[in-house]
Structure 1
């Protein structure tokens, strides 16, 4: 069962983004404020330095020019190496493919089976907007349209320019990929989305959603079918 702490109504929970317009453009940071690949071998070896991990991460988080909107490289120096994608030991009774979000430690796990999982660093809900429970991926989208809820438009008139939806792109708060989370056939207004801001990883800044670096989200998205179970652990 989802626990929402009764902070705001469902409309306001829908990302709870705050518009930050810089020269007419939406600020990802303002949005967040309101609202077995990669380093597996290194992660399991236990005999590497942070410099080794950053060197490998620079390859993992390089630019993605083949996307509809080319994604720039991540500045890995702005991320604690423990948040780099890696394959780790992870004991769970959940079936392979299940996504487990650990907000207390800023991690998202994709269960791989045989006692392992792919672990991604994440940003999570800020205090007051934490929830826990079991949901599932009800739908997914690439370069999704973002539409501010009516409650936001009432509070922030500048948001009305996106009443018809903000097209997908690098400035769109949902980024390159998004997994929409459902419960009993109803959209919970929570998502797992992509961000290009490395400084958000390892922080509680959203209003119920969970963000991964774009390169990580593309990886998770490609391996996550609709109906995948998602477990949000208590914080």
Structure 2
């Protein structure tokens, strides 16, 4: 049995322990709130990749049963290498922007950045501009040249729609991936597609479409969201943004 004095001392001791625990609880919660992470506008690395990363990025690869040769990227202008940059467009995340004069394609990301790819574009007179959506995507597509192209080059008749097009493969003009651009529900016949012709990047050589090296179009294909909006500019990007 505890005496009256012992019970009083026990009560005081328990009260002191409870008070200490309460103070300790407050002292640990406040610093946790102060250490809460502050969201950053950009959290992804920006700039050119290292030599080792570029070597891996543009190495030979087997994809879908097809062998894609390595890109001799050291012979390309480095500005056309795939790289993350600050978003220069102001478009919503998920939008694809083609800067035709600059020979760049941007895929806008959340947080103020964009993945930028070097591209080859259509010759003067074969270029398309405007807004649309990427309505359909296809790995290793068949190539079916449109009627107006066949009219200019009758030897392509064997690859017409009626004849089933050209089989997929590394020599197919659409390369490893094709993204089909529609506007107002109609096919524009304008494509984003791969090419083994790395020397064409940065130049105006194709019949209206935007071409990327196969390694880059595979990367773009993985990133582009379903029914992504696309904007194609024929004037310099800086001028377009001032309109």
**TM-score category of the 2 structures, normalised to the smaller one:** 0.7 to 0.9
Alpha-carbon separation, structure 2, partners of 1:134 and 1:157 = 31
Alpha-carbon separation, structure 2, partners of 1:103 and 1:191 = 14
Report the equivalent of 1:142.
139
TM-score under structure 1 length normalisation: 0.74
Tell me by how many angstroms 1:139 deviates: 0.5
Q: 2:80 aligns with which of 83, 94, 97?
A: 83
Tell me by how many angstroms 1:152 deviates: 3.4
Partner of 1:65, secondary structure, is strand
How many positions carry a matched residue from both structures? 189
Alpha-carbon separation, structure 1, partners of 2:232 and 2:201 = 17
Equivalent residues of 1:54, 1:76 under 8 A apart: no
Equivalent residues of 2:143, 2:172 under 8 A apart: yes
Alpha-carbon separation, structure 2, partners of 1:197 and 1:144 = 17
Given the alignment of the two structures, is residue 221 of structure 1 paired with residue 221 of structure 2, yes or no? yes
CA pair 42-75 structure 1, distance change in 2 beyond 3 A? farther
Instruction: Please give the per-residue CA displacement for 1:79-115, whole angstroms capped at 9, x wherever unaligned.
Output: 1011101111114332111100001111000001221
Alpha-carbon separation, structure 2, partners of 1:232 and 1:42 = 24
Larger relative contact order (C-alpha < 8 A, sep ≥ 6)?
A: 1
Larger radius of gyration: 2
TM-score under structure 2 length normalisation: 0.72
Partner of 1:192, secondary structure, is strand
Equivalent residues of 2:128, 2:190 under 8 A apart: no
Given the alignment of the two structures, is residue 59 of structure 1 paired with residue 63 of structure 2, yes or no? no
CA pair 176-57 structure 1, distance change in 2 beyond 3 A? same
Q: 1:43 aligns with which of 40, 47, 52?
A: 47
More deviation in 65-74 or 162-171?
Answer: 65-74
Equivalent residues of 2:98, 2:231 under 8 A apart: yes
Alpha-carbon separation, structure 2, partners of 1:146 and 1:175 = 9
Instruction: Please give the per-residue CA displacement for 1:46-86, whole angstroms capped at 9, x wherever unaligned.
Output: xxxxxx85554222101112432121110112210111011
CA pair 177-111 structure 1, distance change in 2 beyond 3 A? same
Equivalent residues of 2:103, 2:121 under 8 A apart: yes
Alpha-carbon separation, structure 2, partners of 1:127 and 1:151 = 16
Tell me by how many angstroms 1:161 deviates: 2.1
Equivalent residues of 1:42, 1:53 under 8 A apart: no
Q: 1:120 aligns with which of 91, 114, 117?
A: 117
**Structure 1 unaligned regions, length at least 5:** 1-39, 45-51
Partner of 1:113, secondary structure, is coil
CA pair 57-124 structure 1, distance change in 2 beyond 3 A? same
Report the equivalent of 2:185.
185
Partner of 1:57, secondary structure, is helix
Instruction: Please give the per-residue CA displacement for 1:155-178, whole angstroms capped at 9, x wherever unaligned.
Output: 433222223111110111001100
